[in-house]
Amino acid sequence: MSTLIAKEYKSFEETKRISDDGVEFWYARELADVLEYVQWRNFSKVLARAMLACKNSGYEVPDHFAEVSKIVEAGATSKPVIDYKLSRYACYLIVQNGDPRKEIIALGQTYFAIQTRRQEVADYFNQLDEDNKRLVIRGDIKQWNQMLAEAAHNAGVITDEEYAAFQNAGYMGLYGGMKVEDIHKKKGLKKNEKILDFMSSTELIANLFRISQTEEKLKKDKTATADEANEIHFLVGKEVRGTIERVGGTMPEDIPVPEKSITEVEKEQLKKLKKPKKKLMLDE
């Protein structure tokens, strides 16, 4: 079943197009083939229901279902046919209105629901200011670090000393040989301050990628010794560093240190939430 899911998800990805201005879309006739609709007239009924759902949701139908004309070969001749450029939301509505007996429709519902949710999260994240972005990513890192610790333990990293060596291996890969102590010193932090609390959103994202990919690889490779775990953590960190270098990014150790720690930002946000709202005249 997992092979089938991977294959069908791939078909949704392969039929995705990108416009000249960088916006993704799908052609309706190509999506119909993926969804196993042999006859266009049957798919057009699903299309009509999806358009109605779009309208009832308060959206402009042409914004999500843009009608276009295509030339198709019909024997020795060619003829124009109607097609549509579909947004991700349009595709989501189509699979929601498709034949529920088809397994591919169920897969499509999952695929487009996940993709739509990811975009919603990305749009929300991009609207945040730098401090709030840091707060969100730091929260993700806390969760992933717990999973990484569990994966490392299962791989043979047991004692505190072994875990410290494991953590250093990851940082050394990502920070060009620098250990936790070296990074702490470079950032000019006090003894009780955590380096993750004094990272920009960009630096935090690099570390989140290091942590999540290491956790996944430890489980995938069924790592059985602390030495193997250390090597994997180092290599993953090094790969992330290599990617940053290839795209011309700033090395993590050279990214400026934020003025406020994550702890300070968190306290400020909590203080705002607790701040009493100003009473209106109607309340008096």
At residue 283, the pLDDT reads 43
pLDDT in tens, 164-173: 999 999 999 9
Largest CA distance in the chain: 82
Mean pLDDT of the region 69-83? 79
Decide which of 117 and 87 is more confident. 87
**Average pLDDT value for residue range 62-90:** 86
How high is the mean pLDDT of the chain? 87
pTM for the structure as a whole: 0.63
Query: What pLDDT, on the 0 to 100 scale, is given for residue 3?
Result: 39
pLDDT computed for residue 246 by the predictor: 94
Q: What DSSP designation does 255 have? A: S
Residue 8's pLDDT band (cuts 50, 70, 90): low
> Does residue 140 have a pLDDT over 60?
yes
**Nearest-5° Cα angle at 120, 117 to 122:** 110
Are 175 and 183 in contact by the 8 Å Cβ rule? The answer is yes
Residue 276 — pLDDT band, cuts 50, 70, 90?
low
Residues above pLDDT 90, as percent of the chain: 58
Phi first, then psi: what are they for 175, rounded to 5°? -105, 25
Alpha helices, DSSP H, located in 100-157: 103-126, 130-154
**Which of 248, 219, 249, 256 has its CA nearest to residue 236?**
219
DSSP 76: T
* Residue 225 three-state SS: coil
CA angle, 61 then 62 then 68, to 5°? 135
Using the structure block, give the residue that is written with the tokens 């349009």: 90
The pair phi, psi for residue 96, each rounded to 5°, is: -70, -25
Q: What is the Cα Rg of the chain in Å? A: 25
Per-residue pLDDT for 274 more than 70? no
Look at 162 and 271; give whichever has higher pLDDT: 162
Residue 284 has pLDDT above 70, yes or no: no
